[in-house]
Every structure is written in structure tokens, then in C-alpha cells.
Amino acid sequence: MTAIDPRMRLQALAIEYATRAEAIERDLSRTHAQSFSEQATERQNDMVLQGLLVDARASVKEVQQAIERLDAGTYGECEKCGEPISAARLEALPSTPFCINCAD
């Protein structure tokens, strides 16, 4: 099994999350129906979309910070204890700044 280049993986994630955020922003900017009952449903949907947008923006920021750690040569080191983050954890959560022990 070949290792995936962390920079390429992080850049792909950054694009994915940014694209997701843009799509949500487009959905939120649409006009609402004239019917009050339809507007109520649309407003509820907007609340869900706003939550998803917050998550997507936070994910973009986390990935950007991981790329900064990569540039600084500290990617894969736990920000809390300084120990290496396991390869399996980085594979599952490429932007994580913490080892499994410190994440708990």
C-alpha cells in the first residue's frame, strides 16, 4: 500500500470543503416562496443549511491550519503533547492537530 501525499490530500479536502460551502451559500441566497407555509419550511431548511455552512467553513479552516503545520514541518506532531500522531489517525482525520490521547 502506498502512502498518500499529505499535501495533496489536504489540498483536495480544502477544495471539497470550499466547494461545499459555496454550494450552501448559493442555496441560502435563493429567493423564498410566496406561500407562508412554504416559507416556514424553507426557513427551517435554511437553519439546517446555516449549521452545515458553519461546519464547512470550520473544516476549511482546520485544513488550512494543517497545511500551515505541514509548511512549518510540524504536521503529524500533536500540538498538545508534541508526540507523533499515528499514521492511522492522520489517514482518518488528515487535519487533526492532536494525537488520540490528547483528543480525548
In this prediction, residue 1 carries a pLDDT of 41
> What string of pLDDT tens digits covers the 104 residues of the chain?
446 799 999 999 999 999 999 999 999 888 776 776 777 777 888 999 999 999 999 999 999 999 999 999 999 999 999 999 999 999 999 999 999 999 98
Whole-prediction pTM value?
Answer: 0.80
Domain ranges of the chain: 6-74
Task: Supply the DSSP string of 27-85, one letter for each residue.
Answer: HHTSPPPSSHHHHHHHHHHHHHHHHHHHHHHHHHHHHHHHHHHHHHT-TTB-TTT-PBP
